[in-house]
Chain A
């Protein structure tokens, strides 16, 4: 490579070099072709159609007509939309705590040298891999007001049974519990990977200086773990905003409400109901873009904040 080619031969390697480069481009194009076609047909085209539809009165069938910002205005004056927004916000905020704090605590324990680490890690991970719809129907049974196991235990302790799935006050709490039960193991594994990335020398340096274990945790572990924490919070929040399976499998009723009095109704179930039960596809597209904008804004804000409080190595 570094040696000069003899002058007489220099034309040929240059041409060979060019043809090799062209061949490389052709190879690259061939390898990327399935992905490019997929993204084009099943992502970019639908994305553009969705944006267009959000400004139309599209129904299940028939030609859509442009109606300007009507769908967006309608959403902003629709009490059901606000109800779904409020439910989504409340669900996300509580789940953000309930599915991450226990996950961090469990990860800290499992990061210790104790017997049965891999066993417990696997056990906590089982709900993550199990079919969402399957386990949600299971919880529908466990949380039943009359014969559910959870209320049986509550009665054993002498309390009144809780109408988890039958009262509007408890509906969203049940969604939070089932969703968090399923997510804790996932977040725990990410925290565990983050904890194992903290260099042990840091602790060794701190111990002789008389740093207490709490001080070590607060001033070494927490800052070193902040990129992981940040990642867990952002992904959990984005998943929460898009929750669909749990509220629908837990709360769908014959009259197509999600939970009693729509108490489990979040944004994506509302969008699904508007589009595929109500047939209002234009309106549903506008709801989708409102959700998209919210997710984009939150992502941007989170990244801006991360610069301030996330410690990168």
Chain B
């Protein structure tokens, strides 16, 4: 916390210049994306480029929703995201509590093995998972985007760490009163864990909303695709209509930005926690 590097006024000025330029590079692309999405199609490819649209065309958004079923794909993405978030939270709360609070034989070993699964790259699983989906009859179905992705070692780790920090007295008192572990989990621990759950939910949201490789493999019908696939299709089919591609990208990016605006604290805490895992 202590200010140790920047003491002189010109150093502070320099720091603000660096922050300002970096901030511009990070944010300007999004502003330009949004403004371009409102321009007539000839204006987005004109040289020199314009910043403000010469005329504001909200109709670009209607057009992009009609040429690629991006509306349906957004709904698919929302369905998949909501269910994956719920699945992550539920399985992580249960497993995190069991690993943190219930002493059963082989607990440490099992938890270590679960964490070790994080080392396996997803690329190893895509081919066999595709064949498994063939067996289950889930190829080109939303089930394939939801059911296999309802559990997470990262989330279990996060919730376990949280539950381990809760004082023992709370559950001892409840156990003496004859409460079951399920009761203790849902009545005492769950309300306490709200911040950790919020952090996990924001991560699950990002993961599900932005996923691309797996949908690309498993979903082929336009009406069942998710929004990231729709965007790539848009780019492949209408490469010349940059205005529409920017409108589509805006639609894909906007929900995550809105969620970030409201849940910023949880995103940043979640990352800081995962960083501390390296210690």
Query: In the complex, A28 Cα to B107 Cα: how many Å?
Result: 10
Query: In the complex, A235 Cα to B119 Cα: how many Å?
Result: 10
Chain B residues contacting A289 (CB-CB under 8 Å) are: 124
Chain A residues contacting B122 (CB-CB under 8 Å) are: 242
Chain B residues contacting A110 (CB-CB under 8 Å) are: 19
Cross-chain contact of A272 among B148, B180, B217 (Cβ < 8 A): B217
Cross-chain contact A125 with B268 (CB below 8 angstroms): yes
Query: In the complex, A47 Cα to B231 Cα: how many Å?
Result: 31
Cross-chain contact of B29 among A32, A135, A241, A285 (Cβ < 8 A): A135
Chain A residues contacting B278 (CB-CB under 8 Å) are: 227-228, 230-232, 234-235
Query: In the complex, A16 Cα to B94 Cα: how many Å?
Result: 25
A49 at the interface (CB under 8 A from B): yes
A149 with B271: in contact, given A141-B246, A241-B121, A254-B236 (CB under 8 Å)?
A: no
Interface positions, chain A 273-290, Cβ under 8 Å from B, are 275-276, 281, 284-285, 287-289
Cross-chain contact A267 with B49 (CB below 8 angstroms): no
**Nearest chain B CB to A295's CB is how many angstroms away?**
6
Cross-chain contact B245 with A28 (CB below 8 angstroms): no
Main DSSP-derived SS at the B contact region: helix
State the interface size on chain B (CB cutoff 8 A): 101
Cross-chain contact of A181 among B25, B45, B114 (Cβ < 8 A): B25
A292 with B124: in contact, given A34-B151, A112-B3, A149-B32 (CB under 8 Å)?
A: yes
Interface positions, chain B 3-22, Cβ under 8 Å from A, are 3-7, 12, 15-16, 18-19, 22
Cross-chain contact of A292 among B95, B103, B117, B121 (Cβ < 8 A): B121
Stretch at the interface among A3-11, A38-46, A75-83, A91-99: A38-46
**Nearest chain B CB to A99's CB is how many angstroms away?**
13
Interface size class of A (residues with CB under 8 A): 35 or more
B58 at the interface (CB under 8 A from A): no
A19 at the interface (CB under 8 A from B): no
A35 at the interface (CB under 8 A from B): yes
Chain A residues contacting B271 (CB-CB under 8 Å) are: 186, 189-190, 193
Stretch at the interface among A114-122, A167-175, A257-265: A114-122
A129 with B2: in contact, given A114-B12, A288-B124 (CB under 8 Å)?
A: no
Cross-chain contact A105 with B47 (CB below 8 angstroms): no
Cross-chain contact B126 with A275 (CB below 8 angstroms): yes
Query: In the complex, A134 Cα to B122 Cα: how many Å?
Result: 22
Main DSSP-derived SS at the A contact region: helix
Cross-chain contact A35 with B151 (CB below 8 angstroms): yes
Cross-chain contact B228 with A133 (CB below 8 angstroms): yes
Query: In the complex, A119 Cα to B13 Cα: how many Å?
Result: 17
**Nearest chain B CB to A137's CB is how many angstroms away?**
5
Query: In the complex, A47 Cα to B122 Cα: how many Å?
Result: 10
Cross-chain contact of A139 among B29, B117, B121 (Cβ < 8 A): B29
B23 at the interface (CB under 8 A from A): yes
Query: In the complex, A245 Cα to B122 Cα: how many Å?
Result: 13
Chain A residues contacting B27 (CB-CB under 8 Å) are: 123, 126
Cross-chain contact B1 with A34 (CB below 8 angstroms): no
Query: In the complex, A297 Cα to B15 Cα: how many Å?
Result: 40
Query: In the complex, A133 Cα to B277 Cα: how many Å?
Result: 28
Cross-chain contact A35 with B5 (CB below 8 angstroms): no
Query: In the complex, A291 Cα to B206 Cα: how many Å?
Result: 25
Query: In the complex, A200 Cα to B232 Cα: how many Å?
Result: 49
B267 at the interface (CB under 8 A from A): yes
B32, B114, B127, B245: most-surrounded residue (chain A CB, <10 A): B127
Query: In the complex, A24 Cα to B156 Cα: how many Å?
Result: 19
Cross-chain contact B32 with A142 (CB below 8 angstroms): yes
A162 at the interface (CB under 8 A from B): no
The 9 closest A-B pairs by CB, nearest first: A231-B278, A193-B272, A190-B275, A49-B128, A38-B151, A46-B128, A134-B252, A31-B94, A31-B98
Given contacts A112-B5, A125-B260, A131-B256, 14 further A-B contacts (CB under 8 A): A23-B180, A28-B107, A34-B150, A46-B124, A106-B19, A109-B18, A114-B12, A120-B23, A124-B26, A127-B26, A134-B248, A137-B231, A147-B45, A288-B123
